[in-house]
Structure 1
Amino acid sequence: MATPTIQRRRLGMALRRAREEAGKTRDEAATLLDAAATKVSRLELGQSGIRLTDLKLLLDFYGVSGEHAESLHALARAGRQRGRWSGYRNVVPDWFRAYVDLEADATEIRWYQAEIIPGLLQTESYMRALNTTGLPHESEEELDDHVRVRMERTAIIDRPDAPALTFILSESALRRNIGDAAIMRNQLQHLASIAERPGVEVQVYPFSAQSYEVSTFDFIILRFDNDPHSDVVYLENFTDADYLDRLDAVRAYSGLWNRLQAAALGPVESRRLVRRIADEHR
């Protein structure tokens, strides 16, 4: 079942297409709503809901009527419901709740990680060590909630309708010590094991790569309904995140992904390297 976040995302894409087909600009739509152009941008990115009165104004302005208009009103009503992660407000900020809903509804996820193991591939002990060192002022209850959320997210790997998952990890992520040697060995063994599953592919970008293509920042490309036109690029910083769906931005990050993938070790070589580094922690 699609979440409110993905419903807003679908509505936003439809509104943007309707605006462009009508030959209207974001500024014109914003003037109609007596709002800033950034509000229209957030609506089209699916980052916020829309009042039904505002939706009617926009649809009339764009010349959308009949069954199409009714379907968009239904999406707007669904998008105003609370998301599945609203019960974790103390540990999951608004800007990240949007991501985890999108993650759960994606049909394909391409994830590049530079310094730590990607969240979906982490063991519980690695998660706890990471949150204990990274967020030292958390209470035990908050730490448990952080781990619970992360563990719930990892469940998508075992779903019958699991998304196609491809990961590229810098070798730094494998060698960055989180916790003690036992935690790291267990984590790397877990990573190698998951990498053997159908529908999951892990590649390592090694220190020895003969390429000038290096990304020092993480990024995730999500796809929905196996539609390449639905791609969203997720970029996270310490206090916020960006969701990019402009065609030029998606193309740039897709190109970067392809170059990193070409320079990385193949899946079999990558698993061998992961297991070799795991053995170093004995």
Structure 2
Amino acid sequence: MNTLPETLRRLRNERSVTQEQVGEAILVSGSLIAAFEQGRLVPQSDTARRLDEFLGSGKRIQQLAAEAAEAREQARERRRLAQAAWFRPWTQLEESATTLRYYELGVIPGLLQTEDYARSVLDSGLRGAREIEEQLAVRMERQAVVLDREDPPVCVFMMDIGAVRSAHPTIAKAQLERLLAESERYRTFVHVVPDGVGMHPGRSVSFALASLDNGGLAGYVEDLFEGRVITDSPRVTGLDRAWHSINALALNVFQTRDLIRGMVRAL
């Protein structure tokens, strides 16, 4: 039986139209059509309906999309169960948040890590090869769930310059190029806190904040042993204030890109 990506490619080729033309016809980007054809994403129901209408395929794409979405959800649940129990509440918030803000002191944020960089973070000498690969798959799936969905949240990634410099030289260039690419992504903003800004609340801790569609705000902090979601109003307010005080010291998105491009050229 033909898969959804195969069916989409075949129907598009039969009509002799490009991915960009399909996207324009159904009011999405050509890159999103490419993601469907590569199997990286599954069309939502309304998008699948518009694809069927444009490609004249009855309800075939809607049926395949529903089957693919169910299979993906089952696989996602298996991967979710492979996550540490204390981390699952935060990933659930990531999947439903309208805005996500991350501050990282020592490493590139997990949602922006290349596979090689993520593997180097996970390979601390305390995990076996199988566990590393399982956790790596979970992390890559998490990236796709948050960043690649049709209506992604606004994501603001702020990191200390030490985090940007953290990659081993053999993988640094690819990771820096990934940061540049992500900084150009729709609704994604990348900032670096440079050297010489003095003391600030982020000198001792990394944290994240999620704005929810009900107007709520939740935070997340992590230590050596586990992480925890923060919902207590005074503490969430404290994290929010800390975020703004650090953000005031960060380079803007254009300065950040210039800095990272310079680091890439130096490698």
Normalising by the residue count of structure 2, what TM-score does the alignment of the two structures yield?
A: 0.67
Q: Is the 8 A contact 1:90 1:142 kept in 2?
A: no
Aligned-residue CA RMSD in angstroms?
2.1
Query: Aligned to 1:254, what secondary structure does the other structure show?
Result: helix
Instruction: Summarize the Cα distance change of 1:117–1:244 in structure 2 as closer, same or farther, 3 Å threshold.
Output: same
Query: 1:127 maps to which residue?
Result: 118
SS in 2 for 1:201: strand
Contact 2:190 2:256 in 1 (8 A): yes
Is the partner of 2:248 in helix, strand or coil?
helix
2:102 aligned counterpart, secondary structure: strand
What is residue 188 of structure 1 aligned with on the other side? 176
Task: Out of 114-123 and 242-251, give the one that drifted further.
Answer: 242-251
Do residues 261 (structure 1) and 247 (structure 2) align? Answer: yes
Which residue matches 1:99? 90
Contact kept? 1:214, 1:260, Cα under 8 Å: yes
Deviation of 1:217 after TM superposition, in Å, equals 0.6
Q: Give distance in 1, aligned partners of 2:131 and 2:80.
A: 11
User: What does 1:1-282 correspond to in 2, within 5 Å?
Assistant: 87-88=78-79, 91-132=82-123, 134=124, 136-155=125-144, 156-177=146-167, 179=168, 181-209=169-197, 211-215=198-202, 216-225=204-213, 227-228=214-215, 230-280=216-266, 282=267
SS at match of 2:237: helix
CA–CA distance in structure 2, aligned partners of residues 172 and 214 of structure 1 = 15
Q: Deviations over 1:62-107 (max 9, x none)?
A: xxxxxxxxxxxxxxxxxxxx99865247852110122112211111
| Partner SS state of residue 211, structure 2 | strand
Q: Secondary structure at the match of 1:95?
A: coil
Contact kept, 8 Å, 1:86 with 1:97, in 2: the verdict is no
- Tell me which amino acid in the other structure corresponds to 1:120: L
Residue-pair matches, total: 193
Mean Cα deviation higher: 138-147 or 163-172 = 138-147
Task: Give the 3-state SS of the residue equivalent to 1:94 in structure 2.
Answer: coil
Distance, in Å, in 2 between the alignment partners of 1:238 and 1:85 is 26
In structure 2, relative to structure 1, the CA distance for the partners of 1:277 and 1:241 (3 Å cut) is: same
Q: TM-score, normalised by structure 1?
A: 0.64
CA distance in 2, matches of 1:83, 1:95: 20
What is the deviation of 1:240? 1.9
What does the per-residue CA deviation read over 1:19-59, in whole Å, with 9 as the maximum and x for residues that have no partner? xxxxxxxxxxxxxxxxxxxxxxxxxxxxxxxxxxxxxxxxx
Question: In structure 1, what residue type is equivalent to 2:151?
Answer: D
The letter for the 2-side match of 1:234 is: Y
Counterpart-to-counterpart distance in 2, 1:237 and 1:191 = 25
Secondary structure of the structure 1 residue equivalent to 2:151: coil
Over 3 Å counting, the alpha-carbon distance change for 1:101 and 1:169 in structure 2 is same
Q: Identity, % of aligned pairs?
A: 28
Alpha-carbon offset, residue 116 of structure 1:
0.3
SS at match of 1:203: strand
**Partner of residue 61, structure 1:** none
Residue pair 1:85, 1:97 contacting (<8 A) in 2 also? no
